Amino acid sequence: MPTVNLFCGLEDLRICMWNERLWFTATTTHASNNMTNEMLLGRFSSDCKKVEFVQVVDVGTLPAKNVCPFVEDGRLMLLDLYKSCIYRCCLTPDTEKETWTLERAQTLEWHAGEPNFYRGSTSPVHLHGSTWGCVGHDIIFNDNTQLVTRLSYLHHWIEFDIARGAVTFVSSPFWVAHWGVEYVSGISKTGDKVTLYLGINDKDAAACETTLSDLRCGK
């Protein structure tokens, strides 16, 4: 489909393993005539050489961005940090083709006085009990009229109780390797060691090893 948008194809992929397959969310401006970012749910083939399934999922409003998949209690879930919402992915029965819909599983409440201006960066990882953690971000913008006006991303380590629907912790802001356009899109955790996967200036990929303790301190 012809487009006048900056971005083509799929962007902002977030991935997770579920039922021995690699699943992903992504955004695209080519899903419909809306010509704005819409959210996709997809799955790679078992050898990860092709996308064997992809469809648009409705997250309520457009444009849609930064909705991250994860697995909780054996179910495929999506976290929309910006809208403070967690969805459960549900396979629609009795249809001729594979179709998934979203069911609201939880709404996150922020602690008193804490505004929710954070956007999703990474899928959440399990910490303990019903507590999960993820990286979210805020953005500083240039005060100019250019189309691309981002100046710097500020990251935050955010924890929430999925059973109570409560955000329980937000760290002070931090950056990893580059003050500027630095985007953390992936995370893995082994014990107290946490690895962040990030892009710098939308060109270079990097990985950073830190600890859960340091993330909670905002560094």
84 closest CA partner among 48, 132, 118: 118
**What mean pLDDT comes out for the span 50-54?**
95
The domain boundary, picked from 51, 81, 107, lies at: 107
> What range defines the domain where residue 169 resides?
110-219
Domain tally, the chain = 2
Q: How confident is the model at residue 103 (pLDDT cuts 50, 70, 90)?
A: very high
Pair 7, 74 in one domain:
yes
**What mean pLDDT comes out for the span 1-30?**
85
Q: Is the pLDDT of residue 4 over 60?
A: no
Identify the residue with better confidence: 180 or 167: 167
Pair 66, 149 in one domain:
no
